[in-house]
Amino acid sequence: MDKIAIYEKLKEVITSEFELDADLISPETLLNDDLQLDSLDMVDLILSLSDYIGNKIDPSIFKDARIVQDLVDSVAPFWKTA
């Protein structure tokens, strides 16, 4: 799966999981400041993504994520190709 498709799926999961407007989310959106996602939210996001990612991922890969694109870049190596 390419990063554009991963971004779209991640955006879908974020909007669904946290009941956010999709228009608020872009690759440059700040996770904490713009979306108000904290570390517990990030754990919830990892659990939600587990349905779409074929491998388990270490939550620590998200520790330096500041924007949505950071999340995309972090999960891309773990995402199984269709």
Q: Give all domains of the chain, ordered by start, each with its CATH number.
A: 3-78 (1.10.1200.10)
Q: Is 4 left (phi over 0), alpha (psi -120 to 50) or beta?
A: alpha
Mean predicted lDDT score pLDDT of the chain: 88
Residue 45 confidence (pLDDT): 87
CA 53, CA 48: separation in Å to the nearest integer?
10
Residue 80 confidence (pLDDT): 67
The model scores a pTM over 0.85 = yes
Tens-digit pLDDT profile for residues 47-78: 888 777 767 777 888 888 999 999 999 888 87
